[in-house]
Amino acid sequence: MIKAKEDFLKNDFIPLLGKLHADAKAKWGIMNAQQMVEHFADAVKNASGKLILPTLTEGENLQKSRDFLMSEMPFKENTNNPLIPKEGIPHRQPDIQSAINKLQKELSHFFEVFEKNPNLKTGNAFFGQLDYNMNIQLLHKHAMHHLKQFGLV
């Protein structure tokens, strides 16, 4: 199952995002298409250890979060992320294609990092310390959430 999710992230995710128009309307949420792509790039940077975030989930809530993570239950529409400002995230790239290209670079970096250090664990604000398989699970679940948000799956 993880292999299929890894393959999806390596081969299918970016081409699907390539179908996303800058003015695409989300079915839910506050982010526009480019903000979503840049937000996902940050999630990948976090998964590779390049972006360190504070831990927001502790104790028994952490175990509940990890149980959810490893399940096949999707993220709910309008899932609250306290790390995203209410007004959304300002664009950092000049256009959506540049944002997608940056995301592709971050995904490649993520896979390189774990190829060099397969036992690495990286910290996630909501799910704690994650190994490679847990990061793949999270990135795939997160990708599917946003692809559904913009009607790409």
Give the integer Cα–Cα distance in Å for 107 and 40.
Answer: 10
Max Cα–Cα distance, the chain, nearest Å: 42
Instruction: Kindly tell me if the per-residue pLDDT of 89 is higher than 90.
Output: no
Range with the poorest average pLDDT among 20-29, 86-95, 102-111: 86-95
Give 90's DSSP letter: -
Give the integer Cα–Cα distance in Å for 101 and 37.
Answer: 10
Tokens 């793949």: give the residue.
136
Q: How confident is the model at residue 86 (pLDDT cuts 50, 70, 90)?
A: confident
CB 37 within 8 A of CB 20: yes
Query: Cα angle vertex 70, ends 80, 53, to 5°?
Result: 50
Give the integer Cα–Cα distance in Å for 11 and 85.
Answer: 31
Residue of 86 and 42 predicted with greater confidence: 42
CB-CB neighbours of 76 under 10 Å: 9
Q: Which residues lie below 8 Å from residue 77, measured CB to CB, with a gap of 6+? A: 27, 28, 29, 149
pTM summary value: 0.95
User: Can you give the pLDDT at residue 116?
Assistant: 98
Instruction: Kindly tell me if the per-residue pLDDT of 1 is higher than 90.
Output: no
Give the integer Cα–Cα distance in Å for 31 and 86.
Answer: 10
pLDDT digits (tens, 9 = 90+) for 116-148: 999 999 999 999 999 999 999 999 999 999 999
Q: Rounded to the nearest 10 degrees, how much is the dihedral formed by the CA atoms of 20, 110, 121, 47?
A: -30
Instruction: Kindly tell me if the per-residue pLDDT of 82 is higher than 90.
Output: no
pLDDT digits (tens, 9 = 90+) for 2-45: 999 999 999 999 999 999 999 999 999 999 999 999 999 999 99
